[in-house]
């Protein structure tokens, strides 16, 4: 739900590797896009970049909007804009990628349900969009329809955004969160917070990821811990509490990344395996059957993976060879498996798309960042996310979205 983008295309919500994640972005290592990128250089700005058709190095998919981080460090968003999440100074939705950046000097991005965040190359966090519970972090609860001119927090290497809350991974390895706190999603027992905490709630963290109402981290030692909502046992801690602000145990070790959707959690092991738990109503945990799957599996659902992306009803994996494979519900075409497939209860044996470097998903949409720097999306385009009108697209397109991935740099 909340994705994170790292540097050099690493992939997911808050994570480390393959591209940027969005509402449920992809988490991985080595070129994926999550919490991961450290920065250095100029701070973010708002001057448009002259290139009208830049290549993309990270993507983030929010509730009904998509953002792209270009190779030039610019941010461009499209889709639903009712909360100002596109950052273009309006609340007018758009069906195609814009020709200019809303922010420059950026190294990572994250898209939540109704807000968007960026990490500048100097390590600052700037957010915009819905701010009802303080997720923007500017000390108010006033909606922002364009990126602020000042950082909400500095010393940051990655950011992840959920439903009405935001978490940052500090360069020091600490975690700081702000926004809504009713389900313990800030990692501590506290009222809603409209500014980032002045202290770390967790330390020695290498990777974070946020979903709709819960978050998970991977420690520098490779241990996974989760906090927030637990209504579908998505925390994986073998308890029946509805939510938990402070993790009580490591739920998995030898992990390199984690990706969090709506009630579901997936971890990428250091060996390249995927293990998912929590909501499994549609087979999105990939264990071969439906029904809640609260225990962390003892075996991998799929191996040879470099990044993962968990949505609401489906999950996708990016293989080390650049292939995309998805499982769970295909009710909106989000698996890319064709209109004749209603669901898949386990990862398929073949790719629906090849040549990808990152993936990101939301509840009904899947997007891939191609090796060429272009973007391809499939599933439900009701919000105009695909740049080609509304409707359901059951197969990955053969061409990139227009306006991005083109001639420069």
- Does 69 map to a domain? yes
Residue 383 pLDDT level (bands cut at 50, 70, 90): confident
- Does 14 map to a domain? no
- CA–CA separation, 143 and 90 (whole Å): 11
- Does 33 map to a domain? yes
Handedness of CA 182, 187, 190, 196 (dihedral sign): negative
- CA–CA separation, 10 and 44 (whole Å): 20
Residue 52, pLDDT score: 72
Residue 387, pLDDT score: 64
Residue 395, pLDDT score: 94
Residue-wise pLDDT tens digits, 72-95:
999 999 999 999 999 999 999 999
- CA–CA separation, 73 and 42 (whole Å): 10
Q: Which long-range contacts (CB under 8 A, 24 or more apart) does 376-382 make?
A: 376/400, 376/401, 377/66, 377/401, 378/333, 378/334, 378/336, 379/332, 379/333, 379/334, 379/336, 380/332, 380/333, 380/334, 382/64
For residue 10, is pLDDT > 50? Answer: no
- pLDDT above 70 as % of the chain: 86
Residue-wise pLDDT tens digits, 226-256:
999 999 999 999 999 999 999 999 999 999 9
- Does 3 map to a domain? no
Higher pLDDT, 384 or 234: 234
Residue 388, pLDDT score: 59
- CA–CA separation, 360 and 218 (whole Å): 19
- CA–CA separation, 3 and 5 (whole Å): 7
pTM above 0.85, yes or no: yes
Give the DSSP letter string of 114-171.
SEEEEEETTS-EEEEE--TTSTT-SSS---BSS--SS-SB-SEEEEEE-SSEEEEEET
DSSP secondary structure code for residue 401 in this structure: P
**Average of per-residue pLDDT values in the chain:** 88
Residue 3 pLDDT level (bands cut at 50, 70, 90): very low
- CA–CA separation, 244 and 178 (whole Å): 16
- Does 316 map to a domain? no
Instruction: Tell which residue, 231, 228, 229, 233, has the closest CA to residue 293.
Output: 233
**Cβ atoms within 10 Å, residue 346:** 15
Instruction: Tell which residue, 236, 227, 266, 386, has the closest CA to residue 26.
Output: 266
- How many distinct structural domains can be found in the chain? 1
Q: Are strands 75-79 and 106-111 parallel, antiparallel or unpaired?
A: unpaired
CB 2 within 8 A of CB 229: no
Residue 23, pLDDT score: 47
Higher pLDDT, 168 or 392: 168
Handedness of CA 179, 180, 185, 191 (dihedral sign): positive
Q: Are strands 115-120 and 324-329 parallel, antiparallel or unpaired?
A: unpaired
> Residues with Cβ < 8 Å from 398, sequence gap 6 or more?
none
Distance, CA of 47 to chain centre: 26
Secondary element (H or E) of residue 265: strand 264-269
- CA–CA separation, 138 and 332 (whole Å): 36
* CATH number of 143's domain: 2.130.10.30
- CA–CA separation, 384 and 93 (whole Å): 9
For residue 1, is pLDDT > 90? Answer: no
CB 29 within 8 A of CB 81: no
Which pair of structure tokens corresponds to residue 278? 């929590």
- Does 63 map to a domain? yes
For residue 181, is pLDDT > 50? Answer: yes
For residue 41, is pLDDT > 70? Answer: no
Residue-wise pLDDT tens digits, 298-335:
999 999 999 999 999 999 999 999 999 999 999 999 99
Residue 405 pLDDT level (bands cut at 50, 70, 90): confident
Residue 42, pLDDT score: 30
Residue 204 pLDDT level (bands cut at 50, 70, 90): very high
Beta bridge partners of 156: 170
- Does 178 map to a domain? yes
Distances (CA, A) of 29 to 12, 98, 259, 320: 9, 29, 12, 10
> Residues with Cβ < 8 Å from 287, sequence gap 6 or more?
276, 280, 293, 297, 301, 345, 346
- Does 307 map to a domain? no
Domain span at residue 232 reads 24-273+359-393
């Amino acid at each position: 739900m909340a994705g994170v983008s790292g540097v050099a295309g690493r992939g997911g919500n808050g994570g480390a590797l393959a591209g940027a994640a969005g509402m449920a972005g992809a988490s991985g290592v080595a070129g994926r896009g999550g919490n991961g990128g450290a920065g250095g250089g100029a701070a973010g700005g708002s001057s448009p970049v002259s290139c009208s058709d830049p290549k993309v190095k990270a993507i983030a998919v929010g509730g009904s909007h998509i953002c792209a981080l270009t190779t030039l460090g610019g941010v461009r968003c499209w889709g639903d804009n009712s909360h100002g999440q596109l950052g273009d100074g309006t609340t007018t939705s758009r069906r195609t990628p814009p020709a200019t950046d809303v922010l420059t000097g950026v190294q990572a991005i994250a898209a939540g349900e109704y807000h968007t965040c960026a990490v500048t190359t100097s390590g600052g966090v700037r957010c915009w969009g819905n701010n009802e519970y303080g997720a923007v972090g500017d000390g108010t609860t006033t909606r922002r329809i364009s990126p602020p001119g000042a950082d909400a927090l500095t010393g940051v290497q990655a950011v992840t955004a959920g439903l009405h809350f935001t978490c940052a991974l500090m360069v020091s390895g600490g975690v700081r969160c702000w926004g809504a706190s009713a389900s313990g999603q800030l990692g501590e027992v506290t009222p809603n917070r409209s500014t980032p905490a002045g202290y770390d709630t967790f330390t020695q963290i290498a990777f974070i990821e946020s979903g709709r109402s819960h978050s998970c981290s991977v420690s520098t030692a490779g241990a996974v811990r989760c906090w927030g909502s637990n209504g579908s046992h998505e925390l994986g801690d073998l308890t029946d509490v509805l939510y938990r602000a402070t993790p009580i145990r490591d739920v998995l070790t030898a992990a390199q990344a984690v990706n969090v959707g709506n009630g579901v959690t997936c971890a990428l092991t250091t060996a390249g395996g995927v293990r998912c738990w929590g909501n499994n109503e549609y087979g999105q945990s990939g264990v071969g059957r439906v029904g809640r799957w609260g225990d962390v599996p003892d075996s991998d659902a799929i191996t040879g993976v470099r990044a993962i992306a968990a949505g609401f009803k489906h999950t996708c994996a990016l293989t080390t060879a650049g292939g995309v494979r998805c499982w769970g519900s295909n009710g909106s075409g989000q698996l890319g498996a064709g209109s004749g497939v209603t669901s898949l209860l386990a990862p398929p044996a073949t790719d629906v798309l090849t040549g990808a470097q990152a993936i990101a998903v939301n509840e009904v949409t899947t997007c891939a960042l191609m090796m060429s720097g272009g973007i391809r999306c499939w599933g439900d385009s009701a919000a105009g996310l695909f740049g080609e009108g509304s409707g359901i697209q059951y197969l990955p397109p053969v061409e990139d979205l227009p306006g991005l991935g083109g001639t420069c740099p």
